[in-house]
Structure 1
Amino acid sequence: MKRQAFPEGFLWGGATSASQIEGAYLEGGKKMDTSDCRPGNFEIPSVDKIKWPYRLMTKSKFEMALQETGMGEYPFRWGNDHYHHYKEDIKLMAEMGLKIYRMSISWARIFPDGDDEQPNEEGLKFYKDLFQECHKYGLKVYCTILHYSIPVNLVVKYGGWKNRKLVDFYVRYATTLFEHFMDDVDIWLPFNESNASVFHPYNGIGLVSEDRYAGERDPFVEDRQTIYQAVHHQLIANALTIKAAKRINPEVKISCMIAWFCPYPATCNPEDVLLAYKEQQYECLFFTDVMMRGTYPPYMLEYFKRHGIRIEMQQGDEEILAAYTSDLLSFSYYFSSVATTDPNWQKTDGNLKRANVNPYLKRSEWGWQIDPVGLRITLNQLYDRYQKPIFIAENGLGANDRLEGDGSVHDPYRIEYLRQHFKAMAAAIEDGVELLGYTMWGVIDLVSCGTVEMKKRYGFVYVDADDRGNGTFRRYKKDSFAWMKQVIESNGENLENGME
């Protein structure tokens, strides 16, 4: 008898973020957050939207967004209207058989200005009702405390995460969530994709860039000091959040998370191999090393020295990091990349960053390289390094799905994408990796974070809304909905049958 790869109790699920689905951006006591200020850039082709000029938030763009108090051309302000559809959405997740729902809470819905003394009761009630709806169907909850968006007041008044004061504001926010929802949440995640600061500083640390960066120049080179100081503040906030959670419930499970890019050397030239290794350290492992091991790794201290970066620490910071580490490791995985010393190597797009083309891989409509074997490699690498449970918090395929006249949506490409990635997960489990669960990104269609548009769809459920928020916002099951249901019912054994 063949041994079942996925363990009993494996957590099959779906993932979203508050800023990408909720909408209702000024309802229920919520105020504007940083995602509400990201324009859709509708006139720009999707393939160009990931480039620096459109990914960056400059001062002029930020000021313009603050002055536009209506919907304007800011898709995150309407999302997929989950705020008014959450009961229907959770019922659909339960119908598909999901075991866990990874969602996030909007900081601006709980503390509208971020530095408020008291929380917004309407916001607390909304999430309490949402959690109760999950429990009604037996859905576990994986809750992200901060998924990029922070109240705009924290940027306007304090400059974002480069200001140490945000540590206290954030810990107060997180502690409030623990006090109200500790029994409602199964896994807590303080920060989504903690390494986002180095490839999307506005999302990651709320950094508004000077207008002189509006061209193709990469501001990271000149802003390294600011970025890494802000990263330090988040790492301290992460540790103090774990401390606060464990004080309330010592058995609580706290994860950390990064976006993983799986860089391969372009050739067997030792310089390419070394570059791939270093990219992995600087872009990914630095963050998990601190949150999982509790100390700044030597390679990063040398990096700081080489680039003239001086991290200002307060007395006790090192002890805080060492004392409060994460219980498990989560990551997002969408594509792999190539490391090369060749400056003329062909480029393609990826998760909030550009990547070098791998000639052995196919790419999605948006240029993301499809690499299920890279997921198996990643799972092995991370489990070997930390020897703690692993959770795949995001993975999925963005595509331009079409709603047919009869209400059907045929997405065989998504089924095939998921089938191959699930096979890679099964193989990694057989390799010995302790994989707890998987939450497919954008389980219900949402506004894409990378390109700020609705037409790049990820979900098992289609939402009738276009890039500008036109549509009925009705929900329609895609073919992948039924396929995923059978996958979950068989606990990953039935991958080949069903919808083709």
Structure 2
Amino acid sequence: MAKKKLVLKQEEEHDSVTTQVRRADFPPHFVFGVSTSSYQIEGGVDEGGRGKSIWDVFSHTEGKIVDGSNADVSVDHYHRYKEDIDLIAELGFKAYRFSISWPRIFPDGLGTKVNEEGIAFYNNVIDSLLEKGIEPFVTLYHWDLPLHLHDSIGGWLNKQIVDYFAIFADACFAHFGDRVKNWTTINEPLHIAVGGYDTGRSAPGRSHNPSVETYLAAHHMILAHSAAVSIYQNKYKEKQGGQIGLVVDCEWAEANSDKIEDQCAAQRRVEFQLGWFLHPLYFGDYPKTMRERLGDRLPEFTDEDKELILNGPMDFVGLNQYTSRLVFHAEDSGEEGHFEKSQQVAKMVEWEDGEMIGEKAASDWLYIVPWGMRKVLKYISDTYNNPPIYIMENGMDDEENENVPLQEVLDDKRRVAFYKGYIAEVAQAIKDGVDVRGYCAWSLLDNFEWSHGYTKRFGLVYVDFKKGLTRHPKSSAIWFKDFLKDSQE
């Protein structure tokens, strides 16, 4: 019980702060924004010269998406981006984090001929944002790999992908970098590697050889990220004056007891998530814990690789953080997939007395645990010499239920409480000395939630999928509007 009491005591210390969190609790230049991704919101999959992505095929494969849906139209942001940008401005956000669809820029991914219609679309989005005083935060890759690259060379399993990604990144910097000052390379490489090449729950849906392919795909993503960073730092940064980082995700792992083996399991769990990608970028190799458990399944970095990843350091860490788990050491975790099993960590959501770690949201994986946010931020600060951090995603979902009246759905009190709690912990992390510089809520709109289709709603703004995709701000959107107005009071 000692472990639980310590954690809950820390939580109770900030209860009053949580209920009173204000914009004024953050530095004046701290930026608040909202996030989306191209495949989840754009639609227009056959318009504007866009090529097919691996998610187009995956979402049209029977049995892959819970409700049998796809994102061919999604919320039609491709045609309604001005309306959505007006919403962002009306709510008072000063940043919009979105991603560029690689197959909209290079339909076959090869980089031989840029698609001018794709360039024009993102120019329009960027210009519309700047007209409203909203800062674009652009992610180069949020999972929608051009299908041709997967079919022709094996996608992330082939080291050639590094060169193709570099060409794509270079084109984006050249066309948009005069106005975009905040770049991230790849969103959640962990999820891409595990979901795409281990469990097969995400595109391209492979689970053929997870003990090899999972780590090979991740390895090439690290190199692709580093190649893009090198191009930006050496070719564009001095002239354009921007910054570039990587977006990692972490489910905080809290040891379930004071036992040394459980403490080590918690540390190991976090290293398998954050360390998998940040250790190479800061220290030149994977964490020792991963090397010990994975052996030669974990690729080696050549001297040339190390020169690439260490000589062009990124400017900040992007973090996606939603939830936390209690963990303990277990020889057999009972989890699915090579990546999870190799950690020898079991996860749970109940303390010893049966009390839950936090209230469950709609998704099975998402429990509301605000104090985990602060712990992840502190861990990154302590482990990687206090780099600047931008929180790129944080939010919770509700279950889609057509039988609930619209007004009831819009009054999302639980989401309001979620944001109050998590944002308060970000404020506390800053007081702890963590260099957090921005926060983006996930998501602006209800959208296509990957393998869950339209069964989960993360949006601050409700989208009526049955009636013309009309947008309706929820109570959480109004709360943010009031919160952001607070800065002058």
Shared fold per TM-score greater than 0.5: yes
- Partners in 2 of 1:158 and 1:347 — Cα distance? 31
Q: Match of 1:357? A: 349
Contact map agreement 2:55 2:204 (CA 8 A) in 1: no
Deviates more, 1:412-421 or 1:196-205: 196-205
Q: 1:310 to 1:104 in 2, by over 3 A?
A: closer
Q: 1:282 to 1:346 in 2, by over 3 A?
A: closer
Counterpart amino acid of residue 479 in structure 1:
S
Unaligned 5+ segments in structure 2 are 1-21, 351-355
Shift of 1:38: 3.0
Contact map agreement 1:408 1:476 (CA 8 A) in 2: no
- Partners in 2 of 1:316 and 1:441 — Cα distance? 37
Shift of 1:423: 1.3
Shift of 1:346: 9.9
Q: Match of 1:36? A: 56
1:76 counterpart SS class: coil
Q: Where does 1:260-339 land on structure 2 (aligned, <5 Å)?
A: 260-305=250-295, 308-309=296-297, 311=299, 316-339=304-327
Contact map agreement 1:345 1:356 (CA 8 A) in 2: no
1:119 counterpart SS class: coil
Q: 1:95 to 1:410 in 2, by over 3 A?
A: same
- Partners in 1 of 2:377 and 2:421 — Cα distance? 15
2:128 counterpart SS class: helix
- Partners in 2 of 1:27 and 1:355 — Cα distance? 44
Q: Match of 2:229? A: 242
Shift of 1:335: 0.6
Q: Match of 2:441? A: 440
Q: Match of 2:398? A: 399
Q: Does 2:221 match 1:231?
A: no
Counterpart amino acid of residue 28 in structure 1:
G
- Partners in 1 of 2:422 and 2:118 — Cα distance? 37
Structure 1 or 2: more helix by fraction: 2
Shift of 1:198: 4.4
Q: Match of 1:47? A: none
Deviates more, 1:86-95 or 1:108-117: 108-117
99, 102, 110: which one pairs with 2:94?
A: 99
Q: Does 2:460 match 1:460?
A: yes
- Partners in 1 of 2:392 and 2:347 — Cα distance? 21
Shift of 1:431: 1.3
Q: Deviations over 1:193-224 (max 9, x none)?
A: 122244312589965425xxxxxxxx6xx522
Shift of 1:160: 1.3
Counterpart amino acid of residue 484 in structure 2:
I
- Partners in 2 of 1:355 and 1:149 — Cα distance? 30
Q: Match of 1:24? A: 44
1:263 counterpart SS class: strand
Q: 1:153 to 1:185 in 2, by over 3 A?
A: same
2:223 counterpart SS class: helix
Shift of 1:455: 3.3
Q: Where does 1:143-158 land on structure 2 (aligned, <5 Å)?
A: 143-158=138-153
Q: Match of 1:258? A: 248
- Partners in 1 of 2:279 and 2:422 — Cα distance? 26
1:490 counterpart SS class: helix
1:254 counterpart SS class: strand
Q: 1:421 to 1:405 in 2, by over 3 A?
A: closer
Q: Deviations over 1:439-485 (max 9, x none)?
A: 00111111113x432231111211111xxxx4311111112221110
Shift of 1:285: 1.5
Contact map agreement 1:97 1:485 (CA 8 A) in 2: yes
- Partners in 2 of 1:179 and 1:94 — Cα distance? 27
442, 463, 474: which one pairs with 1:478?
A: 474
- Partners in 2 of 1:225 and 1:124 — Cα distance? 36
Counterpart amino acid of residue 475 in structure 2:
D
Q: Deviations over 1:34-75 (max 9, x none)?
A: 122233899x8xxxxxxxxx589xxxxxxxxxxxxxxx9442
- Partners in 2 of 1:417 and 1:407 — Cα distance? 17
Q: Match of 1:378? A: 376
Shift of 1:192: 0.2
Q: 1:407 to 1:123 in 2, by over 3 A?
A: farther
Q: 1:346 to 1:117 in 2, by over 3 A?
A: closer
Question: How many pairs does the alignment contain?
Answer: 447
Counterpart amino acid of residue 305 in structure 2:
D
Percent identical residues: 29
Q: Match of 1:411? A: 412
Contact map agreement 2:54 2:204 (CA 8 A) in 1: no
Shift of 1:333: 0.7
Shift of 1:323: 0.5
Shift of 1:245: 0.9
- Partners in 1 of 2:205 and 2:445 — Cα distance? 30
Q: 1:472 to 1:407 in 2, by over 3 A?
A: farther
Shift of 1:100: 0.3
Shift of 1:384: 1.8
1:25 counterpart SS class: coil
Q: Match of 2:30? A: 10
Q: TM-score, length-normalised on structure 1?
A: 0.82
Contact map agreement 1:160 1:205 (CA 8 A) in 2: no
Counterpart amino acid of residue 460 in structure 2:
F
2:109 counterpart SS class: coil
- Partners in 2 of 1:38 and 1:207 — Cα distance? 6
Contact map agreement 1:295 1:322 (CA 8 A) in 2: no
- Partners in 2 of 1:10 and 1:115 — Cα distance? 38
1:94 counterpart SS class: helix
- Partners in 1 of 2:254 and 2:319 — Cα distance? 18
Unaligned 5+ segments in structure 1 are 45-53, 57-71, 211-218, 495-500
2:410 counterpart SS class: coil
Q: 1:343 to 1:476 in 2, by over 3 A?
A: farther
- Partners in 2 of 1:175 and 1:371 — Cα distance? 39
